[in-house]
Structure 1
């Protein structure tokens, strides 16, 4: 089986690449990667990426500064990347060209620029699951703009919100994964013979890689058709996207699906022994954690003098070692409500950087090129590597089917 040349955008510390390089047939070749953290003098994530991977071109520049010519010169059978969830509204200028309203959302359009310069067979993108609902004032618009744009470029799209813990991993981390594939590929042609519902439940890439139950949750299923006018979508579209879906030729079907749960790894399974005292908590820190995790009803006053009550429900005193970890955030290094608070043999402590890496499926000390604070920050931004490997294995099967079909054609 030949290789799939991969371009990795917003590469971070290399979660996509690491996952793809661990597939069964090892056909993914990441030959160009871009990582740039704006307003940081030290590029910790890029330095880590550059140390861990020694092949391909690694580019530490603002992607907006990458020229069309440089993009076109890359080998891109597939583009992968996780990008910020921002504002994707668009407008039409006086000369008829599309543009972004305001300064947000630019990174998605850089992905689109890369697609326009390379037209890869596949795209695999990752984002927070609230993308499907944003913005709150026009629910579903941002995701619809993305789908409409990809459709206009000649791609069909499958998506799935995956909670890593539902499929055997150590962290309850929900992310939406978007798999776009060029119309006219063998896979696209095969999917064109299937109903949209059958793609979601049985035949699609996500259905094969992450099995689901055969009935929707609470009968939540919806269909719509996207306009080919992206500005029209941006201005007027409002729709409820569910956690699974398919876009084909402008037709959208979305279903609230139920995963076929697999036994997860628990927090207890990834805990280190003989942890440095630096991660132990003193009495004041323990009390602070207990307060932050407890229920609250606090009287507050706005600048205008209006009084109101801020309420917050309670959490368990410490994180259960018998469950997968909660979602790890970039603030994991600080004492706050979202930080994991552990009681190990009556010793109260936080996670270690190695434990944070294990929650995302990275090798121990993958990020030891940077200070602890940044190690937690990078892991809070990272994806769960085994999820990518599982997707990669399924794309390998799609490629194998394509090559088998091509070989049979040559026989005739």
Structure 2
């Protein structure tokens, strides 16, 4: 019996999913194909970084929409992973009516759907920004509902949860939504149906097992809904307020707002390099110190809109430097620039940016993981990356699920003989 899970990594970036899964079990998780392509860029820094750590002819640097179905049909994919962009998922009836629905061109979620349709992996693990649950602003929850209905129609049960990495052992307060879908014909799916959806969300489910939560919900936030059977109807008129966690089985949704059981944070101070290793260029000069004092200070500024009316732009103040006693704030792609969102730390009386190595540590990557590229791109890639420790934890849960699945298949085989 195959003792490996064939993994396909989409929108791979610098390999956060793969790093996390291999931390969980390098022998079990076998990445057989990966895709990373940055449109309209001559230099493919993220792909070059990925390929330098995982050199393989199966690493694809092409537009995913141009990769033919046959590539995935022949792969025997067990686990499909990817951090895909948050886009407009609206759909329409095709003109001929025969092809069903058509999603907007260039929306990468439809590439996930296409690959799942032709390969039907056992498990799917996706990551996105937490605002996905609320988009678009004029029809809250529509886009996520389209995604859930898509997986429903493909034969999957879906769990999701917004995870704040700092509540589960990371040095960064990074909130991201993770989506775990599993084939409803699996023994694991049948076992889950023995529980109520409430039990799944708070104790027995994929995320509750991986990231324990309190029994009491935050402000009693809980809701139920059944998705319309027609995805075009969802796209046109459906809206719903999703909470931080939830499950969808056969189109029936149960969503709640749980709280972390026992937050265990690593602080920003814990991941700093020794100052003797920090290059002088990362320290702020007087002009930068003055600029940061303004950027991070409170302000009220009169501005004029495009239409010509005046208004007051106001912004609250923030600490002049980031506390070394707390986890870092969410890292953005502008990290390392003179920007309000960049981290500024003060060590031995001197203020400085985080180094690229410290940014790698904030996401749980090995030191110098992104050393194949210049510093600006190193910061950019870490601002886009996921926290690999979270993937490691989820990888360990998938490992347990699949071990039980394998035992179940072996038992069925034994009974047949």
Partner Cα separation in structure 2 for residue 237 and residue 156 of structure 1: 20
Task: Tell me which residue corresponds to 1:58.
Answer: 59
Correspondence for 2:245: 244
TM, length-normalised to structure 1: 0.97
SS in 2 for 1:308: strand
Match of 1:282 among 264, 282, 285: 285
Which residue does the alignment assign to 1:311? 314
Aligned-pair CA distance for 1:32: 0.2
| Count of aligned positions | 410
Pick which of 260-269 and 305-314 moved more: 260-269
CA contact (8 A) 2:336 2:343 kept: no
SS in 1 for 2:51: helix
CA distance in 2 between counterparts of 1:85 and 1:238 reads 17
Shift in Å at residue 192 of structure 1? Answer: 1.3
Give the unaligned 5+ runs of structure 1: none
Match in the other structure for 2:46: 45
Q: Provide the alpha-carbon RMSD of the alignment.
A: 1.2
Contact 2:300–2:313 (Cα < 8 Å) also in 1: yes
Deviation digits for residues 75-96 of structure 1 (CA, Å, limit 9, x no counterpart): 3111100011011111112212
> Partners in 1 of 2:125 and 2:24 — Cα distance?
15
Q: 1:24 to 1:72 in 2, by over 3 A?
A: closer
Tell me the secondary structure at the aligned position of residue 327 of structure 2: coil
Task: Give deviations 1:11-69, integer Å, cap 9, x for gaps.
Answer: 00000001111114741100100000011100000000000013461000010111112
For the pair 1:378 / 2:381, whether they are aligned, the reply is yes
d(CA) in 1 for partners of 2:289, 2:302: 24
1:396 lines up with 2:399 in the alignment: yes
After TM superposition, list the pairs within 5 Å mapping 1:50-199 onto structure 2: 50-55=51-56, 57-96=58-97, 97-101=100-104, 103=105, 106-199=107-200
1:363 aligns with 2:372: no
Report the alpha carbon displacement of residue 410 of structure 1 after superposing the two structures with TM.
3.5
Secondary structure of 1:23's counterpart equals helix
Could you tell me whether the CA contact under 8 Å between 1:20 and 1:26 is conserved in 2? no
Question: Quick one: distance in 1 between partners of 2:306 and 2:150?
Answer: 42
Q: Which has the higher mean CA deviation after the structures are superposed, 386-395 or 47-56? A: 47-56
| In 2, Cα distance between equivalents of 1:302 and 1:30 | 50
Unaligned runs of 5+ in 2: none
- Residue aligned with 2:24, SS: coil
Matched, 1:17 2:4: no
CA contact (8 A) 1:270 1:359 kept: yes
Q: CA deviation at 1:341?
A: 0.9
Q: How many Å separate the matches in 2 of 1:357 and 1:153? A: 37
Is 1:227 the counterpart of 2:228 in the alignment? yes
